[in-house]
Structure 1
Amino acid sequence: MADDALFTPPPTEPRSSMRTPLLIGGGVVLLAVVLMLIFGHHKVQAPTTVAPLDSYAANLPLSGIEMSEATSPFAGGRSTYIDGKITNTGTRTITGVTVQTIFRSDDGQTVSLQTVPLMLIRTRIPYVDTQPISVAPIAPGATAEFRLIFEGLPQSWNQQQPELHITSVQSK
């Protein structure tokens, strides 16, 4: 009889004891994913008003402004480029510039207000390649070529040079 006790199966625990923690854990993970989807994707609103100029903007005159346009057969859209030169007449080394650009219609109404980073032209051959100012900061007294790139401007734009406002300057 003692041998029978050695070969009896152990008492089984109810399966529901493991099911409850797994269900609770799964519910917590699902809730976390839903909350991240709801609150994690805030769309950045485009500015609807003209931003004030940065206090250092007077030290960064823009010159030699030229516009060009390209049609992309792959993207099916039109790209507008604004090239020019920026000169640092101040005393700080510039590591970043943000430009607010105002495109107007024939009657002077604002049809597009876009804020973009000013990118420096790194090379022109075999094509124009740009880089952030932080890669090649603009020292006091230096001049650099830049490019602003815009996609999908409205048809109501009058095709004239837009207003360019330096609204943010980063320096070291």
Structure 2
Amino acid sequence: MRRPLAVEEYQSLRCRICGVNAPIPPDPQTEISASPIESRSESTERNWLPMGIAAAVILAIVGVMIVLGGHRKPTAASANAGPDPYAVNLSITNMVMSESGNLAGGKVTYLDGHIANHGSKTVTGIVAQVIFRSYTHEVAQKEMVPLKWISMRQPYIDTEPVSAAPLKPGGEQDFRLIFDKVSTDWDGSYPEVRILQVDTK
């Protein structure tokens, strides 16, 4: 009894009879194995896009933090620290307080004074701690405020940072402290002013 022909043998025999080369059927394993590679490649390309966007956002945030860090206000830690050693060389006199309204309908409080440098260094920056007392002599408000030089008085008072005109040894200068808001518990007396931070060169 003759063995039945397999599919491959039948196709080969048919081709020899017809004189035509039969097309070789594609290997299904090859097609299946190629598909995951292409899929992984496309997936990898898609994954790089959100990673690149996230990296750009992080760099932008870091840049903003660096810029803002150079203009940060005095911290609470510095407010609780002791005075700068060079502060003993700086004397404050002739303090005068005044007030004025602003465009928002609020009130701005000014504390003007005169400061002298009795030390041997040039001062490029000063931060003072100012304490407003209540009627019970408790602390109603405590702030760290940078001193600003009074650069002109007419037709209005204008100010500039200490770094714009460093205070040399033996030098004197009029200054102004500005408070956008003062506690309603303040008793109205002159606040306590203490120099905490001094930048010198």
Q: Same fold (TM over 0.5)?
A: yes
TM-score range, shorter chain: 0.7 to 0.9
CA distance in 1, matches of 2:46, 2:105: 50
Aligned counterpart, 1:25 = 49
Percentage of matched positions with identical amino acids: 37
The answer on whether the counterparts of 2:130 and 2:144 sit within 8 Å (CA) in structure 1 is yes
Q: Tell me which stretches of 4 or more aligned residues in structure 1 moved more than 4 Å.
A: 14-20, 34-37, 40-46
Letter in 1 for 2:160: Q
Greater relative CO (CA pairs within 8 A, separation 6+): 1
Kindly indicate which of the two structures has a greater share of residues assigned to strand. 1
What is the letter of the counterpart of residue 113 of structure 1? K
Q: CA deviation at 1:46?
A: 5.3
Name stretches of at least 5 consecutive residues in structure 2 with no aligned partner: 1-37
The TM-score normalised by the length of structure 1 is 0.77
Q: Are 1:53 and 2:77 an aligned pair?
A: no
Offset, 1:24: 3.7
Give the secondary-structure state (helix, strand or coil) at the position aligned to 1:56.
helix
Q: Judging changes above 3 Å, is the alpha-carbon distance between structure 1 residues 50 and 105 closer, same or farther for their aligned structure 2 residues?
A: farther
Instruction: Write the mapping of 1:79-98 to structure 2, written as runs, cut at 5 A.
Output: 79-98=108-127
In structure 2, the CA distance between the partners of 1:100 and 1:121, relative to structure 1 (3 Å rule), is same
CA distance in 2 between partners of 1:45 and 1:124 (Å): 28
User: How many residue pairs align between the two structures?
Assistant: 157
Q: Within the alignment, does 1:71 sit opposite 2:101 as a pair?
A: yes
C-alpha separation in 2, matches of 1:153 and 1:160? 12
Distance change >3 Å, CA 45–CA 87, structure 1 → 2? closer
Task: Note the C-alpha offset of 1:16.
Answer: 8.1
Which has more helix, going by share of residues?
2
Q: Say what the alpha-carbon RMSD is for the aligned residues.
A: 3.0
Please give the TM-score of this superposition, normalised by the length of structure 2: 0.67
Alignment partners' CA distance in 1, 2:45 and 2:132: 59
Q: Is the 8 A contact 2:74 2:144 kept in 1?
A: no
